[in-house]
Structure 1
Amino acid sequence: MRQTWRWFGPKDRVSVDDMMQAGVEGVVSALHHVATGSVWTPEQIAQRQREIATRKDGRASPLAWEVVESLPVSEDIKKQKGDWKDHIANWKTSMQHLAAAGIPVICYNFMPVLDWTRTDLAWERPNGARCMRFDLIDFAAFDIHILARKGAAEDFPPEVVAEAATRFAAMTEARKEQLAGNVVFGLPGAAERFTLDDVRAHLAEYAQISEAQLQSHLIDFLSEVTPLAEKLGMRLCCHPDDPPFPLLGLPRIMSTQAQYQKILSAVDLPANGVTLCTGSLGARPDNNPVEIMKALGARVHFLHLRNVTIEGTALMNSMFEDEHLNGHTDMIAMVGAVVAEEQRRKAAGRSDWSIPMRPDHGQDILDDLGRSAQPGYPAIGRLKGLAELRGVYRTFEHQAKA
């Protein structure tokens, strides 16, 4: 596994120097300030590359931008409305510019409206660490009583509806505002932020789009961009839904192995691949990320290794971001499956045999608690996770050489 680290640019509270000290090998970044649907220019890309290649004191860093996360797919593309054809053309132009700059991997997602959903961004654990959390009762309270989505109560079990009403009645105005802000927080570092009215407007448009239709729109998008990626020697990898179950009445199309397999088969080119996020897929009790890795490994172009603890057995549950070696995913088995796939690739002569991985998210611990970094992206919490994953990986490497 090539050990990478997500960086949000010069405003990130975790610096290039911090990444170097963490021992990462490459950087995952994006032009978060560029509006979705616009072209990423060569000048903007080169500027980000220079920023990554420069330490605080001006000396050169050994790091380079190796993975894009994310080149956003606009809501127009997902809905096939408005400027969607122009946005696809711009996406392809951006991809050409990235290829010319030597950046071969693009992670993206096709989640409607919200790129990920949490109700708490700093939930305190018994040991004082803080993490992100999806609380089903809080989310139902938001959906039914704050957003006031028509028919929302019908999407939850009766006992959840009742608990949500009780919890909402006890909420202060400050907590209601905080909860709404957490839910619509959106993509980390993104240029856009949604208001509740923005969400309502998008939901009204998606009301006419079924799961099958959204799948068709993704296939149409990939049919346009994947042949070019293949020609450019690039790898595209779709991130799973987060969390991987229906919310807000929206269709979910990248939540299971079967859904991934449908998209991979529909556009059956090596460049069309998977961002295997063990945290997102692992938030669903009937998903086994290790088995998904074994089944889809040949098309896995990027790894997000994180863990969640699920609080129940139903499809829709509360969950929180646990330590990297704790939670629903057997992370030891997961790393073993990655090593096995890399060995197969190396034996087959694939140049992409080393799969880029980043320690996704992390709990705020120690000095993270005062750093105010992007939610989910602390310095020390991720360093701890990376160290644990690196140790597991090197153990498997040692065994393979023995």
Structure 2
Amino acid sequence: MRQTWRWFGPLDGVGIDDMMQAGVEGVVSALHHVPTGAVWSPEEIRRRQDEIGRRRDGRPSGLAWEVVESLPVSEDIKKQQGDWRTHIAHYRESMANLARAGIEVICYNFMPVLDWTRTDLAWEVSHGGTAMRFDLADFAAFDIHILQRPGAAESFPEAVVAEAAVRFAAMDEARRQQLMDNLVCGLPGAAEQFTLEDVRAHLAEYAGLPTATLRGHLIDFLAEVAPEAERLGLRLCCHPDDPPFPLLGLPRIMSTEADYRAVLDAVDLPANGVTLCSGSLGARPDNDLPGMMERLGDRVHFLHLRNVTRDTDTVPCSFYEAEHLGGGTDMVALMKAVVAEEARRRAAGRADVSIPFRPDHGQDILDDLGRKAQPGYPAIGRLKGLAELRGIMAALEHGAARA
């Protein structure tokens, strides 16, 4: 397992020198400033590589950009509207430029309108640190009373609708604004920042789009880009929906093992693969993470290792970002399945034996509370998670060596 770390670029509150002290082996990044649908030029790719390759004082860092997260898929491609064919051509060109720069793994997602969704970016946990949280009643308050989406109340159980009304009535204007900002501000570091009207406009364009149609659009996209990725020696890996259940009346197509299997079988190429995110998928009690790793493992090209604690075992549900070994996913069993998959790859002579992973998200603890880095991406909270994951790795690899 190859230890990597996500970096949002020069404005990230956790820098290259911090990563070196954390002892990571590679960097996960993207050209967040390039508008979605545009070409990632060789010059911009090289600039990001140079930034990663230098310490604060200009000395070499010894680190390299190893995984792209994300090369974003435009809303036009997802809806097959507007400039979607041009955007696919640009995507292929960006892949070729990344391949020429020596980068082999590209993570992306196919979530409509909103990327990962949280109602609270700094929810206090029992030890006094903070974590990101998705609260279903708060989300319903946003959907029904702030966004005022037609038919929104029908998307939630009656008890949640009632609680949402109480929550909304108790919110002052500052909390309502904060909730809206948390939900529509876009991906950390992204070029695009949505407004409420932007979200309403996108929802209108997706209105009535069946789940099967959106899945078909993903398969059409992969039919265009996966053969090119195969030719270029790239590995594409789709991130799951986060959270893995429908929101805002939008379809969700990458939330379960069956979802992944349908897409992998439809475009059956080694380059068409999986980003197995244990936190996103772990928000559903019916997702068996170790089993998914065993059954989908030959197509898992990237791992996000994190944990969530669900309030209930219903779908949908509220949850918060737990400590890496403290949530509902059996991280030891999951990592044992990863080590077994790497052994299979080694025996088969595959070049991609070591699967890159990163300690995903993390609670803000200690000095993180004053650093105010990207939401979900603190320095010490992620380092604590990485240390815990390293301990599991060392124990599993030691046991494998003695077997």
Which residue of structure 2 lines up, in the alignment, with residue 294 of structure 1?
294
Following the alignment from structure 2 to structure 1, what is the Cα–Cα distance between the partners of residues 363 and 166? Answer: 29
- Whether contact under 8 Å (2:185, 2:195) holds in the other structure is no
Residue in structure 2 matched with residue 155 of structure 1 by the alignment: 155
**Any residues of structure 2 matched to 1:201-350 within 5 Å, and which?**
201-350=201-350
SS of 1:366 mapped into structure 2: coil
Q: Measure the CA separation in 2 of the matches of 1:193 and 1:288.
A: 34
Give 2:65's aligned amino acid: W
1:286·1:315 contact (CA, 8 Å) conserved in 2? no
Q: Provide, for residues 321-348 of structure 1, a one-character-per-residue CA deviation record: whole Å limited to 9, x for no partner.
A: 0000011110010110100000000010
TM-score, normalising length from structure 1? 1.00
Confirm or deny that 1:71 pairs with 2:93.
Answer: no
The within-5 A match list for 1:195-206 is 195-206=195-206
Per-residue deviation, 1:96:
0.1
Cross-structure match for 2:165: 165
Deviations 1:166-219 (A, max 9, x none): 110110000000001101132121000110100000001111311000000000
Alpha-carbon contact 1:135-1:319 (below 8 Å) kept: yes
Question: Is contact 1:282–1:329 with CA below 8 Å preserved after alignment?
Answer: yes
CA distance in 2, matches of 1:207, 1:11: 36
Work out whether 1:363 is the aligned partner of 2:363: yes
Q: Tell me what 2:387 maps to.
A: 387
Q: Is the 8 A contact 2:237 2:273 kept in 1?
A: yes
Q: How far apart are residue 24 of structure 1 and its match?
A: 0.2
Paired with 1:364 and 1:171, the residues of 2 have a C-alpha distance of 25
Q: Distance in 1 between matches of 2:212 and 2:190?
A: 28
2:341 and 2:159 map into 1 onto residues whose CA distance is: 44
Q: Please tell me the residue identity of whatever aligns with 2:342.
A: E
Residue 289 of structure 1 and its aligned partner are, at CA, apart by: 1.2
**Alignment partner, residue 97 of structure 2:** 97
Counterpart AA for 2:137: I
1:341-383 CA-to-partner distances (Å, cap 9, x unmatched) read 0000001000001000000000000000011100000000000
The aligned amino acid for 1:198 is D
Give the residue type in structure 1 aligned to 2:351: S
Deviations 1:66-114 (A, max 9, x none): 0000000000000000000000000000000000000000000000000
Deviation by residue 1:204-259 (Cα, 9 ceiling, x = unmatched)? 11113110000000000000000000001100000000000000000000000000
Task: State how 1:161-200 maps to structure 2 within 5 Å.
Answer: 161-200=161-200
Aligned-pair distance for 1:275?
Answer: 0.1
Contact 2:310–2:319 (8 Å) recurs in 1: yes
Matched residue, 2:86:
86
Partner of 2:376: 376
**Aligned-partner SS, 2:140:** helix
Q: Does 1:107 align with 2:107?
A: yes
State the 1:54 CA deviation: 0.1
Aligned amino acid, residue 375 of structure 1:
P
Q: Does the residue aligned with 1:258 lie in a helix, a strand or coil?
A: helix
The letter for the 1-side match of 2:287 is: N
Map Cα deviations across residues 294-347 of structure 1 (whole Å, 9 max, x no partner): 110000000000000001121100000000001111001011010000000001
Amino acid at match of 1:49: Q
**What stretches of structure 2 of length at least 5 have no aligned partner?**
none
- What secondary structure is seen at the aligned counterpart in 2 of 1:133? strand
CA deviations 1:16-57 (Å, max 9, x no partner) are 000000000000000000000000000000000000000001
Distance in 1 (alpha carbons) for counterparts of 2:173 and 2:187: 25
Q: 1:121 aligns to what?
A: 121
Whole-angstrom CA distance in 2 between matches of 1:102 and 1:390: 27
List, as ranges, runs of 4+ consecutive aligned residues in structure 1 with deviation greater than 6 Å.
none
Distance 2:400 2:188 in 1: 37
**Aligned residue type for 1:215:** R
Which amino acid in the other structure matches residue 92 of structure 1? R
Q: Distance in 2 between matches of 1:74 and 1:328?
A: 33
In structure 2, C-alpha distance between the alignment counterparts of 1:328 and 1:254, rounded to whole Å: 20
| C-alpha distance in structure 2 between counterparts of 1:127 and 1:398, whole Å | 33
Report the residue type matching 1:331 in the other structure.
Answer: M
Count of aligned residue pairs for this structure pair: 402
Tell me the TM-score normalised to structure 2 length.
0.99
Over residues 253-299 of structure 1, what are the superposed CA-to-partner deviations in whole Å (9 max), with x where a residue is unaligned? 00000000000000000000000000000001111111111110000
Tell me how far 1:144 sits from its aligned partner.
0.3
> Percent identity at matched positions?
73
CA–CA distance in 1 between the matches of 2:192 and 2:79?
18
Is 1:24 aligned to 2:38, yes or no? no
Aligned AA (2:170): A
- Structure 2 distance, partners of 1:244, 1:313, is 13
User: Counterpart amino acid of 2:111?
Assistant: M
Give the secondary-structure state (helix, strand or coil) at the position aligned to 2:367. Answer: helix
Question: Can you give the 5+ residue segments of structure 1 that lack an aligned partner in the other structure?
Answer: none
